[in-house]
Structure 1
């Protein structure tokens, strides 16, 4: 209820509604997202010849209830293009299309899907989705937006999807790869997830203030990525619409209190921030002998060709060991509840690491760790595993249909939109949590008749379901920024498709970085074959996203992005 001083009184109709509700027993159903999914019978449909899979029955049952008919099937050429773009981010080749059209059998689709899922391009496509969620970038974000070493983490994500790593293992490695019983290089690299926060390397920052900022960033991101929750709203006060309290927020932050966030300041940073200059102000004050040596060196430099610089830099890049930020556990810091989120106020109580109280407890006789948190997130029997499964299933559905079964991809709470097909979402979540197999789930989704529908809709269908929440047709959607560039390179025969490696810097206009300071920087594009690599490998500067990508709504990745914006601007035609 609003406080009295707000003078926001209820009117007579509202009071009557509340009174009638109390008289009827004040029944209050818990929010759908926090009710564990339970198996339900697959619905019966009138047109039993239409469905190819159980998913189709859920969709058709809802359409029949709304007295709507599904759109016709897409033609085979359209279906192949859709499959190839959705699963790899690349268009089909002419040879692929000819081969597919020549074989008109029920197994033809299954064979194409299996081939695409086995392709490394599928892993790169999935990585694009995941890197948006975990706000991966090659720079720190705050202040000078200096580079940090994270590309090995991106390569690990691609490798994990290519190997079809079960999603529960994928989760544990990222949140607590440094704490597993036998850490490996791979799990330590995966733990770089904890270091993808925006950080500041500015000399005057208050370390205590930024410790609070980093903790809030981690809690907000983890809750959005795995729980579909907006726990960031509980940093200053209890959540206004969901059952998360401020105590829950800081108890979650305490899981990350063992991470050494000051390591990057101790070792001088993770990467050089500037390039050498040709200024010698001190040398002019030294002895004549030093000046003679400088003259000799300058003569040699003058003789060198500027054309040699890219080759020399390429050789240096080839022999320089790749480094990556990893999570290093330290003695956990004391975590306090900060009243109103004020890092200067230490009057709040000390809190221990714990999951949100309304979701249960970990029942441990020791301090809970990030490893306990990670295992709880994927524990379908005693933890939040089915909630995590719902969130991931919904995002994969949205990747393939343009909209999720729950339209709010990053908010399953009270301010989000409720699912349009809750029983289907629950059935898929239960199935996914049985083995956490991402490729199997994607195969299940794309081999349905629902996925293969035409995007052409009748006027009646568009009038009654303009946003296609009933999935009576396929959704027309634009490919994302990286894919626009990849398609152009692929069709031009320029695409270099080997996996992994340092982030690459294709051409961008000179002077684009002119406002980057602390220190000033010049963008040095790669002039060799690296400039033709896929967009997933392009250097991601948070403050200045590559202009081609920016024209197609690529995010800065300062926070979790579950669904990119889509806009049309004149710049897109010039990208």
Structure 2
């Protein structure tokens, strides 16, 4: 195998991840405004000379070409194309006078000598100006020719290889087959391949074996689970409300919708429309109403002292922040209190965007009710039958009650005895009618009880209810108590144009349709850039939540645009784009670097190799369960609760709660189904950088801490997985220690251990055999962790020793690294 690392097998191993570090690109031959100049102006000039009128010191703006090149009040020019010596910009940034030099000292910004030289050269070269790349609709350019025409497998490779040619670099060789199947398996389904799957692929001599493997994984029901983990981070999906008491709510059906949509390869435009406005579609299906639950995923509060109006403002702002980042890669949320300081978004744009969501009927202080029933086919049949029975019982009771009242009203007064009249008792009525009425009342009560009982067993979710939109004002400095601001109607940011003229108020559906229109310059770019990140460890533009001026120009802008256009012209076909990426030669490269690549391109921005990085938190747990044989691969369902430290919820109040882990096979479900408690996220998820999902998360960090290694060693889920893995080793791994050690190693990392690794494994096994032989109680205690039962005839000492070996193998960096 290409990646052969000598691994020191200790009882405590720290999980490593290759986090790329910053490295400068070679000096450009020609200055590019968006790559070289705009970032300088944005970082050092826009705060005082940018979009925000309130903070602008003068009328001079460097975010608008007309202003930047216009005549100043004293008759001079900030920028004189071709003449840096005559440009006030250069004079001010090179001045020796502290009072004149820009940027001012109190800005805490300072231009470097290289930046000053770049600005001079740019002006002397003619000061070419381009609009910000992310605000211009993408255009498909012709893939460039390359010096080795036999290397590209598709257009992606042509763009990458052409850049490598220009840099004088060569691509890395293709990774070996074992590495390729592990890479694909982790990337496409979030699980390691089985030994049988590895052997089948390694021995498949058909010329299209790799493409067949890709198609097989794309068709897997676990594909949707893997991609959903990333999407759920973006839309801040969680099973609790987030604020104050962080109470539980029922939204897991939305998570299942996402998984099903990815598995079914729902087009991204339809996927977008259903989430933002599925409830507004004509004859909206139950599934589309579930999808619209996206609008209800933000944090809410039921705190008694909370101000409803304040929280409605918070909910509106959250929807603007999330939607603009998810689909536009835009920090529109920065315009909540003032015009954006770096990008062309105004405070009016912010509240006009929020106005699209003003139709959603929501209380400021309340846990939104799970208002949409999701019965199974059998439950729906039972529900229909019970509702028919309930309607009939109600009708019978109403009819008999009306008849009873009529008889009572028409009863002659003389028929009642003086005693009955004085006692206040009802006049005598027909006894048979009374008996029928009593029976009807009992039958109605029973029907209601059965109906209520059935409803309590039916899954429910939160779906938005649309109604009369509330007024949306521009809030000065975001002050929710300010009533003086202008009332605005739904509108897209003015810098991006306007919706087509219409005689009605624009809706969430109009917004969704605009987001996936060809005129919207950001949506396709944002999504394919994030796909690139999933399969190469970093986006072509590395700042995934900001394609604005403070973001990063793509390392390969023509490729990003080509992919964006391909995505739209394919019918927004997600699987098509993924297949295109993972079948490229660029994706198939070895991830091994060398001295030249470490020196020239430490961040791997030129893609002369693949990347290697630790898999996400959920997949770390999934991998351990899969290796152990415990993993339950059912798709969908209510949240599951793995083991968690006792007392972890000790400070979780309103109400006070005690965490109850599942005491069944639900314990072994995949991580995507884990209960997501925002303020008390499961410690295992925290240890491996899972986000709280209080806000949209476009990229998780990858940390390398002792806590991660300790979690793999000591979290009950991993200890139990190690126990089960040890049992598998003894039952299936062969008859000798070496056979069993080699078998276990292959299950975890898909290859055979080398001699040194095998020797370290032997020593570890012997050490723990001796340790547990001297401490039978410790062996018994270890075997008691988790629900997994130990066979009654097991040798506890032997099983405990092998459990220690299994714990170490599960803890290996290689086990949880996507290479």
Shorter-chain TM-score: what band? 0.7 to 0.9
Q: How does 1:210-289 map to 2 (within 5 A)?
A: 210-262=311-363, 265=366
In the alignment, is residue 96 of structure 1 matched against residue 197 of structure 2? Answer: yes
| 2:508 corresponds to which of 370, 374, 379 | 370
Q: Figure out how many residues of one structure are paired with residues of the other and give that number.
A: 526
1:305-316 paired onto structure 2 within 5 Å: none
d(CA) in 2 for partners of 1:573 and 1:319? 42
Q: CA deviation at 1:21?
A: 8.0
Q: Summarize the Cα distance change of 1:211–1:526 in structure 2 as closer, same or farther, 3 Å threshold.
A: same
C-alpha offsets along residues 143-198 of structure 1, whole Å, 9 cap, x if unaligned? 00001111000011111111111110000000001101121100000010000001
Say whether the 8 Å CA contact 1:147–1:270 is kept in structure 2: no
Distance 1:348 1:50, change over 3 A: same
Query: Does the aligned pair in 2 maintain the 1:408–1:416 contact within 8 Å?
Result: yes
Q: 1:68 aligns with which of 151, 156, 169?
A: 169
Q: Is the Cα–Cα contact under 8 Å of residues 149 and 270 in structure 1 kept in the other structure?
A: no
Q: Show the 5 A alignment for 1:46-61.
A: 46-61=147-162
- Give structure 2 stretches of 5+ with no counterpart: 1-47, 50-55, 59-88, 96-100, 103-115, 373-452, 712-819
Aligned match of 1:416: 551
Shift of 1:413: 0.2
Q: Structure 1 residue 432 and structure 2 residue 567: aligned?
A: yes
Residues 495, 533 of structure 1: 8 Å contact kept = yes
1:518 to 651, 654, 657: 654
TM-superposed CA distance for 1:86, in Å, is: 0.4
Establish whether residue 40 from structure 1 lines up as the match of residue 141 from structure 2. Answer: yes
What's the TM-score once normalised by structure 2's chain length?
0.62
User: CA separation of 1:119/1:10 partners in 2, compared to 1, >3 Å: closer, same or farther?
Assistant: same
Quote the Cα distance in structure 2 between the aligned partners of 1:495 and 1:573. 21
TM-score, length-scaled by structure 1? 0.88
Residue of structure 2 equivalent to 1:573? 709
CA contact (8 A) 2:650 2:657 kept: yes
Matches within 5 A, 1:454-493: 454-493=590-629
Larger Rg: 2
Equivalent position of 1:357 in the other structure = 494
Q: Which residue of 2 aligns with 1:327?
A: 464
Classify 1:218/1:69 alpha carbon distance in 2 versus 1 (closer, same or farther; 3 Å): same
Deviation at 1:319, TM superposition (A): 6.7
Going from structure 1 to structure 2, the CA distance change for 1:450 and 1:10 (only over 3 Å counts) comes to: same
Given that residues 257 and 333 in structure 1 are in contact (C-alpha distance below 8 angstroms), is that contact kept between their aligned partners in structure 2?
A: yes
In structure 2, relative to structure 1, the CA distance for the partners of 1:67 and 1:269 (3 Å cut) is same
Change in 2 beyond 3 A, CA 1:318/1:45: farther
Distance in 1, matches of 2:124 and 2:217, equals: 59
Please give the alpha-carbon distance, in whole angstroms, between the structure 1 residues aligned to 2:328 and 2:163: 27
Q: Secondary structure at the match of 1:323?
A: strand
Q: Tell me the CA shift for residue 519 of structure 1.
A: 1.2
Once the two structures are superposed, the pairs formed by residues 68-147 of structure 1 within 5 Å of their partners are: 68-147=169-248
1:339 lines up with 2:339 in the alignment: no
Q: Is 1:549 equivalent to 2:681 in the alignment?
A: no
Q: Structure 2 matches for 1:381-396, cutoff 5 A? A: 383-384=519-520, 386-396=521-531
In structure 1, runs of 5+ residues without a counterpart are: 272-315
CA separation in 2, counterparts of 1:24 and 1:461?
Answer: 32
Q: Deviations over 1:487-544 (max 9, x none)?
A: 0000000000011110000111110111101111000110100010000000000001
- Aligned equivalents of 2:701 and 2:461: distance in 1? 30
Cα contact 2:525–2:561 (8 A) shared by 1: yes
Change (3 A) 1:56 1:98: same
Q: Give secondary structure in 1 for the equivalent of 2:503.
A: coil
Question: Cα deviation per residue 1:292-330 (whole Å; 9 max; x = unaligned)?
Answer: xxxxxxxxxxxxxxxxxxxxxxxx999721110101101
Q: Structure 1 residue 25: deviation in Å?
A: 7.6
Supply the distance in 1 between the matched residues of 2:123 and 2:586 (Cα, whole angstroms). 43
Structure whose residues are more often helix by fraction: 2
Distance 1:518 1:405, change over 3 A: same
Instruction: Summarize the Cα distance change of 1:109–1:511 in structure 2 as closer, same or farther, 3 Å threshold.
Output: same
Q: Does the alignment pair 1:448 with 2:549?
A: no
Taking the aligned partners of 2:369 and 2:161, their CA distance within structure 1 comes to 60
Q: Distance in 2 between matches of 1:439 and 1:451?
A: 16
